[in-house]
Amino acid sequence: MSISAVSVPDALCQVLRLSSTIKTAFGDTWDGTTGDSKFFTDWADQVDRPYLVFDEVGENYDFDTLQPTGIHSFRADESVIRCWIVQSGRLATRQLAALVCNALNNCDQTNGPITWPDFNGTCKLLDFRMRRAEFAPNPYIGPAAPATFVRVVTFNYTYQGYI
């Protein structure tokens, strides 16, 4: 099996949709054309909990010597992406985060190859590992606000590509 995506967050959403357990836990019924999507690559608006959003934090590049063809190959090492999981209860939020981590940790090996377009061809995910999980402060807390918990899971990843 291989996954072809437009970006790393898009690839991760596709990986999560391969798991019926995760789709059911989040209530995601999206089939590519219809249904309710609960996995996002940008902040969601007016979506019932639970849902998750991927946030690309940054990439660190290591460029190889310029090739005679004028193309530089590179590796993006120790790059960081965060997954924000929003749910109503602390335990439920923690459990959803564990499901996501189990599906995504080493997804480059279990669902590979995972690729997306870059400047001069295709990028390929080389490794994907969970590094940290924490509850984020919730700015929407107040007397009339429903209880909402936000679990932020940070992953490090490496990919290769060309520029």
The answer, yes or no, to whether residue 109 has pLDDT greater than 90, is no
pLDDT at 141: 62
Q: Cα separation of 145 and 163, whole Å?
A: 48
User: What count of Cα atoms within 13 Å lies in the side-chain half-sphere of residue 88?
Assistant: 7
At residue 53 the predicted structure's pLDDT band, cuts being 50, 70 and 90, is very high
Task: Identify whether the C-beta of residue 81 lies closer than 8 Å to the C-beta of residue 60.
Answer: no
Our count of domains for the chain comes to: 1
The answer, yes or no, to whether residue 118 has pLDDT greater than 90, is no
The 8 Å CB, 24+ separation contacts for 100-104 are 100/16, 100/22, 100/52, 100/153, 101/130, 101/133, 101/153, 103/15, 103/16, 103/18, 103/19, 103/22, 104/12, 104/15, 104/16, 104/128, 104/130, 104/155
Nearest-10 Cα torsion for 104, 88, 39, 29 = 110
Domain CATH code at residue 155? 3.30.2000.10
- Tell me what the mean pLDDT of segment 48-63 comes to: 89
CB atoms within 10 A of CB 53: 20
- Enter the pTM of the model: 0.81
The answer, yes or no, to whether residue 82 has pLDDT greater than 90, is yes
The size of the chain, in residues, is 163
Tens digits of per-residue pLDDT, 3-51?
Answer: 888 888 888 999 999 999 999 999 999 888 889 889 988 766 667 889 9
At residue 79 the predicted structure's pLDDT band, cuts being 50, 70 and 90, is very high
| Segments forming the whole domain that contains residue 67 | 3-162
